[in-house]
Amino acid sequence: MGTQSGDADVIVIGGGIAGVAAALRLKDRGLEPLVLEAESRVGGRMTTDRVNGFVIDRGVTLLGNGFVRMRSLVRRLGLSPLVGTGSFSVGIQDAAGCRGYRSGRFEDLLFDRGISLRTRVACLRFGFDLLRHHRALVHGRSILTGSLDGEDARTYFRRIGGEEVFERIFRPGLNGPVGGSVETSSRVILMQVIWNLLVRGQWTLADGVDRIPETMASQVRVVTEARVLHVEQRPKGVQVEAEVKGKQQTLRARAVIFAIPGQLVPELCPQLPADLRELLSRTQYSRIANAAVALSNPPSVPYAGYAFTPDVVPGAEIEMEHLRAPNRCPEGAGMAGVFLWNTPEFCRLDANDESVKQQACEIVEQTFPECRGKVLFVHLVRWNIGIAQFPPGRLREMTALRKRLAAWDFPFDLCGDYLDGLSSEGALRTGEESADRMAVKLAK
Ligand SMILES: Cc1cc2nc3c(=O)[nH]c(=O)nc-3n(C[C@H](O)[C@H](O)[C@H](O)COP(=O)(O)OP(=O)(O)OC[C@H]3O[C@@H](n4cnc5c(N)ncnc54)[C@H](O)[C@@H]3O)c2cc1C
C-alpha cells in the first residue's frame, strides 16, 4: 500500500459526502487518495439506518432538482434507477388552522386568501429577487452571493414589506431545514434553500441516500474507525497521527484535505496560521434531533410536511416520510419524521432519549389524533453537529477563504458544507473544489 512519499498522495480526513467527493475527484485526476473516517461507516450526516423493514435517513433526505452535481454523480455511479421524484407540500399550522403550499407552485402563495394584499405584493417582490439572483443561489456558486449576504432574513422581509409572509409562512416552514435559526440566518441562505429545494422541486433515492456516499467510497481507499488526532507539516509532506481501530498509527502523505466541520480543524492542526484557526473556530452548527415515529397505519393527510407557529408547537416539525420519500416503509405502514430543536423558551434536546421520543410521539398524536395506539417504535438520531449556521456575512467570509486556499502554499486544504451553505450539494461541491485545488498544487 502507498505511494513513493508514504501511505497516499493525499489523506482526506472525514468520509462524509464532502470527503468522499474529494477523494473520488483526486482519483479522477490521477492521484492516490486515502480517506480516514472516524465512524464505522462513511456518509457522516448522509447515512441511512434500516430498522424492522423501515428505511430511515438519519440526516439528508431530500435532494433538490438544483443539485446538479449530485444528480450527475448518481448517474455516474449507476444509481439512477433508484431516483424517486415525489412532490412535496407543506401544511403550516397556526392558531387559525392549517394552510398548505406545494413546492414549485408560487401561485399557492400569491392566491392565498389567508394573507393580506400587501403581503402578496411582497411575495411578488421576493419571487422577482429569487429570479434575479438565481445564478448565485446555485450551490457551489456562492462566490457570487456577496451582495446578498449583508442582512438577516427577518430584516430583509421587513424591508420588502413581507413581515407577514415571513412570520406566518417562512419562519415556521423553514425553521427545521435551517436548524431553528431562521430569524438570524443570512437572507441568502434562506433564498438558497427556497430556490434549490422548494422552487425547483426535489428528488431522493428509494433505498436511502447513503447509497451515494457508500458507492463513491467503494471506488477509493477508505479506512473506517480511523479517528485523526494530529496533523503536522514535515519537510517532505505531512504526517498524520490517527487511532485506527483502537491502535495509534502514523501515516504519511504529500498533502491533507480536512473534510470535517471547520471548528474541529484547529485542534487537529495547531500549525495552521492563527487567523485561519480563528476563522474556522467560529464555525457554528445547530443541534437537531430526528425522531422517526414508525406507524402501523399512517393517517390520510394532504401534505408531506407539517410545520407550526411557535404558539402551536415550538421547536418541531413533522415530515411524513412515506409521502416525501415513497417505498421506505413496509406495505401499509408509514413514518412521521419529527425534527426537534431547542428554542430560547423550550430546550427539547436537553431531555434524555426516552423523553425526546415521548415528545415526538405526543407531537404526532396532537397533530393527527388518529395515530393514537398506532406507534410501532421511535428511532432517534441526535446531531450535535447538525445544520451549518450562516449569520449575515459568514458566507462571504467562507467564499473569501476558498479564494485564499487556491493561492495557498501549505499542503493542506479544506472542504465541507460550512464553506458553501447548509446542503449536501454544497458539501459535495466544496469536496470536488478542494481536490481540484490540491491537484494543481501537487502538480507544481
Ligand atoms: C437532520 C439533518 C437533516 C438534513 N437534511 C438535509 C437534506 O434533506 N438535504 C440536504 O441537502 N442536506 C441536508 N442536511 C445537511 C447535510 O447533511 C450536510 O450538509 C452534509 O451531509 C455535510 O456533509 P460533510 O461531508 O460536509 O460533513 P459530515 O457529513 O459531517 O462529514 C464529516 C465526517 O468527518 C468525520 N470526522 C469528524 N472528525 C473526524 C476525525 N477527527 N477523524 C476522522 N473523521 C472525522 C465524521 O465522522 C463525518 O463522517 C441535513 C442535516 C441534518 C443534520
**Is the CATH number 2.60.40.10 carried by domain 63-72+82-205+285-388?**
no
pLDDT in tens, 171-227: 999 998 898 889 899 999 999 998 888 888 889 998 999 999 999 999 999 999 999
**Is the CATH number 1.10.150.120 carried by domain 8-47+210-284+393-443?**
no
pLDDT in tens, 226-281: 999 999 999 889 999 999 999 999 999 999 999 999 999 999 999 999 999 999 99
pLDDT attached to residue 236? 86
Mean pLDDT of the chain: 93
pLDDT attached to residue 1? 42
Q: What are phi and psi of 339, to 5 degrees?
A: -95, 130
The conformation of residue 186, written as its DSSP 8-state character, comes to B
Which residues are registered as beta bridge partners of 51?
Answer: 54
CA distance 60 to 185: 20
Ligand 1: which residue has its CA nearest to atom 3? 59
Query: Exposure string (b/e) for 402-415, b if CB count within 10 Å is 16 or more?
Result: beebeebebbbbbb
* Residue 305 Cβ < 6 Å to ligand 1: no
> What would the DSSP string read from start to end of 216-232?
HHTTSEEESSEEEEEEE
State the SS3 of 77-123.
CCCHHHEECCCCEEEEEECCEEEEEECCCCHHHHCCCCCCHHHHHHH
Reported confidence tier of residue 112, pLDDT bands at 50, 70, 90 = confident
CA proximity to 261, closest of 418, 87, 37: 418
Distance 264 CA to ligand 1 centre (A): 13
Q: Which residue has the higher pLDDT, 326 or 388?
A: 388
Our mutation pick for probing the ligand 1 site, out of 37, 60, 415, counting the most ligand atoms within 8 A of Cβ, is 60
> What would the DSSP string read from start to end of 129-166?
HHHHTHHHHSTT-GGG-GGGTTSBHHHHHHHTT-HHHI
Q: Are 402 and 419 in contact (CB under 8 A)?
A: yes
Q: Mapping DSSP to helix (H, G, I), strand (E, B) and coil, where does residue 399 land?
A: helix
CA proximity to 7, closest of 212, 196, 271, 241: 241
pLDDT attached to residue 2? 45
Q: Are 363 and 338 in contact (CB under 8 A)?
A: yes
In the chain, the amino acid numbered 410 is F
CA distance 165 to 178: 17
Q: Which residue has the higher pLDDT, 1 or 370?
A: 370
Distance 17 CA to ligand 1 centre (A): 7
pLDDT above 90 (res 110): no
Distance 40 CA to ligand 1 centre (A): 14
Q: Which residue has the higher pLDDT, 415 or 101?
A: 415
Reported confidence tier of residue 86, pLDDT bands at 50, 70, 90 = low
Q: Hey, how many other C-beta atoms are within 10 angstroms of the C-beta on 371?
A: 20
The domain locations on the chain are 8-47+210-284+393-443, 63-72+82-205+285-388
Distance 177 CA to ligand 1 centre (A): 14
Residues 6+ away with beta carbon under 8 Å from 15: 35, 36, 37, 39, 42, 43, 44, 213, 217, 222, 224, 259
Average pLDDT over residues 37-66: 96
- The x, y and z cell numbers of residue 18, run together, are 464532502
Which residues are registered as beta bridge partners of 186?
Answer: 152
Which residue in the block uniquely carries the three cell numbers 439506518?
A: 49
pLDDT above 60 (res 3): no
CA proximity to 415, closest of 398, 390, 439, 391: 398
* Residue 16 Cβ < 6 Å to ligand 1: yes
Q: Mapping DSSP to helix (H, G, I), strand (E, B) and coil, where does residue 444 land?
A: coil
SS3 content of the chain, % helix, strand, coil (to 5): 40, 25, 35
pLDDT attached to residue 102? 80
pLDDT in tens, 283-338: 999 999 999 999 999 999 999 999 999 899 999 999 999 888 878 999 999 999 99
Q: Hey, how many other C-beta atoms are within 10 angstroms of the C-beta on 331?
A: 5
- Ligand 1: atom nearest CA of 386 is 53
> What would the DSSP string read from start to end of 16-57?
BHHHHHHHHHHHHTT--EEEE-SSSSSBTTS-EEEETTEEEE
Average pLDDT over residues 421-438: 95
Which residues are registered as beta bridge partners of 285?
Answer: 388
Query: Which pTM value belongs to this model?
Result: 0.95
Positive or negative torsion for Cα 304, 380, 73, 211:
negative
Distance in angstroms between the alpha carbons of the first and the last residue of the chain:
24
- The x, y and z cell numbers of residue 411, run together, are 499542503
Q: Are 316 and 363 in contact (CB under 8 A)?
A: yes
Q: Hey, how many other C-beta atoms are within 10 angstroms of the C-beta on 355?
A: 11
Taking the CA atoms of residue 233, residue 234, residue 237 and residue 239 in that order, the dihedral angle to the nearest 10 degrees is -70
pLDDT attached to residue 82? 93
* Residue 180 Cβ < 6 Å to ligand 1: no
If phi > 0 it is left, if psi is from -120 to 50 it is alpha, else beta; for residue 241 that is: beta
Distance 16 CA to ligand 1 centre (A): 6
- Ligand 1: atom nearest CA of 381 is 1
Distance 99 CA to ligand 1 centre (A): 32
CA proximity to 281, closest of 295, 271, 267: 267
Average pLDDT over residues 393-417: 93
CA distance 142 to 146: 8
